[in-house]
Amino acid sequence: MLLDKVLANRLTLLFAASGVGKSSLLQAGLIPLLQEQQGDDVVYFFQWAGDAGSELKHAIVKQLRGVLPDDHVADFSLPLAEFICRYSLFSDKLVIVLDQFEEFFHYRRLREEAEPFLRDLAAALHDPTTVFILSMREDFALELDALKPFYPALFDNFFRLERLSPQAAQEAIEKPLEPLGFRYEPDLLQQLVKHLSRREHIDRYGLEAALSLQKAPLRVEPPHLQIICSELWAADQHDTERCIRLATYTQKGGAEQILDSFFQVRMDTLSPKEQHLAASAFDLLVNKHGTKMSYPLPELADKLRVDEQVLGAVLDKLAKIWVLRKYTRQNSTALPENQAATATSSQHSVSWFELYHDVFARIAYAWNEAHKARQRRKRLFIAVAGALVLGVSSLLAFLQRALGAWTGLGFYAKASTVEALVKRFHAAHADQPFYRQALYRAIDNSLITLEVKGDEEDLARLEALWQQERVGQEQKTGPAWAIPARLEWTVARMQER
């Protein structure tokens, strides 16, 4: 259906929720079909952190390099619409795919070059010689209102990619292993789809609403499916009967435990120093709203004030274990854009990093918060040990002066302590940010203690509190958003223990 829409229209909008698989559909499905069956020249573009207009022009020239004359010199000073129109003459049919378009608004929306680029893009969309596919997360769709004044027919043709149905999820689980002669035990297939559907319902509607929505259609998040299947394959790939077993799935704690531990297991492969660098990088690569960011390595190193090679080595490790994605971009610096130049003469390669998948954004943020909390506790321990040498009075003075009364709660916390603090946090007025932040830190300190000393009763109460707090989490910001994420982390650590 998507292919039919693309073939019949000059512009197709592709919308989907975060993590559903828009980029995978484009790269592994639609683009090969356009290239192999239709013979189209397809420009795939997704790099919005830099000068989008200039980099899109370079991407077009790079894609068409094989059909351009050997002595061709590109004039990058041309307006985008004229540039695209000129290069469409070298192709029987030029298709331009603008993927992750929400990132343009994230990086450029408030900058002065945003409106000129949208005007140029709208002018290019009117060109009948080129086909455009504009793909973005559905929760950013309203950002397109900035483009609509320049292209009123913007929403005339769109396609919404849904999460996987149970039947589609089962096919996605089984088909990759069929060429290898492997199979899943039937009971495992049934449980896996059921558990992932339930998790998607809870994530979307909250626990209480999910239990009451008996007739709501069941859906599965593709990245969750990919993670679990990868973990099961790693465990059972040497099975003599070529079977992925329910016992393996159960031993690993089921879908919830596999997903919750996936990120932590990978971070545990880093040394303490490497984890500290990774945590600093996450401050820039992930924001508190669960949105991933892209940065070039030199800029990351400069902002963090660390050696570029040392940071690069840590980020390369994270890229190899699927936590980060590394890609190379051509950074134009040597020549001004208003001079005619070849597509490569003014460029040098720069490594960029971003989270491997949107699904990791909130997990990474929660891990980062917990890591910082542990570092605070470590510094507190050292400070307290030093203060004890000076005497009890010095210790009390230190706690009162440097950390405040809330800090001490962490030393004797129970789940009831956390419940009371969370209740007090929600009762605090929004115009009391410092008080709310102090309460959040007290919650954080208490949870750290419970991760080590909490009992089964504490775990049960925290699980109930977490389910209560995660309702409507997507609409929350700041500490209010972080509380359920922080609770989830503590529950997972206590379950492991």
Long-range (24+ apart) CB contacts under 8 A made by 386-392 are none
Q: How far apart are CA 389 and CA 399, in angstroms?
A: 15
CA separation, residue 107 to residues 37, 124, 267, 293, 349 (Å) = 35, 21, 28, 9, 21
DSSP letter (8 states) at residue 400 = I
Q: What is the DSSP letter of 394?
A: H
pTM across the whole model: 0.56
CA distances from 234 to 78, 282, 464 (A): 51, 27, 33
How confident is the model at residue 277, as a pLDDT?
A: 92
Please spell the DSSP secondary structure of 109-153, one letter per residue.
TTSTTHHHHHHHHHHHHT-TTEEEEEEEEGGGGGGGGGTGGG-TT
In angstroms, the CA 347 to CA 460 distance is: 57
CA distance 341 to 295: 26
Burial of 412 (0-12, 13-18, 19+ CB in 10 A): exposed
The confidence score (pLDDT) of residue 397 equals: 53
C-alpha span between 458 and 495 (Å, rounded):
11
Per-residue pLDDT of the chain (497 residues; tens, 9 = 90+): 788 898 889 999 999 877 677 887 888 788 988 988 778 899 999 888 788 899 999 999 999 988 888 888 889 999 999 999 999 989 888 999 999 898 888 777 778 888 999 999 999 998 888 999 999 988 788 889 999 999 999 999 999 887 778 888 888 888 889 889 999 999 999 999 888 887 776 666 565 555 555 666 677 877 788 888 989 999 999 999 999 999 999 999 888 788 778 888 889 999 999 999 999 999 888 866 666 788 889 999 999 999 999 999 999 999 988 888 887 765 543 333 333 333 343 456 788 898 887 777 777 888 888 888 888 777 777 665 655 555 545 545 554 444 444 444 444 568 888 888 888 888 877 666 767 777 787 888 888 878 877 888 989 999 999 888 888 766 666 667 788 888 988 888 888 77
The 3-class secondary structure across 5-38, one letter per residue, is HHHHCCEEEEEECCCCCHHHHHHHHHHHHHHHCC
Record the tokens describing residue 177, joined without a space: 């292993």
Give the C-alpha distances (Å, rounded to integers) separating 418 from 119, 448, 450: 52, 11, 10
349 DSSP β-pair partners: 330
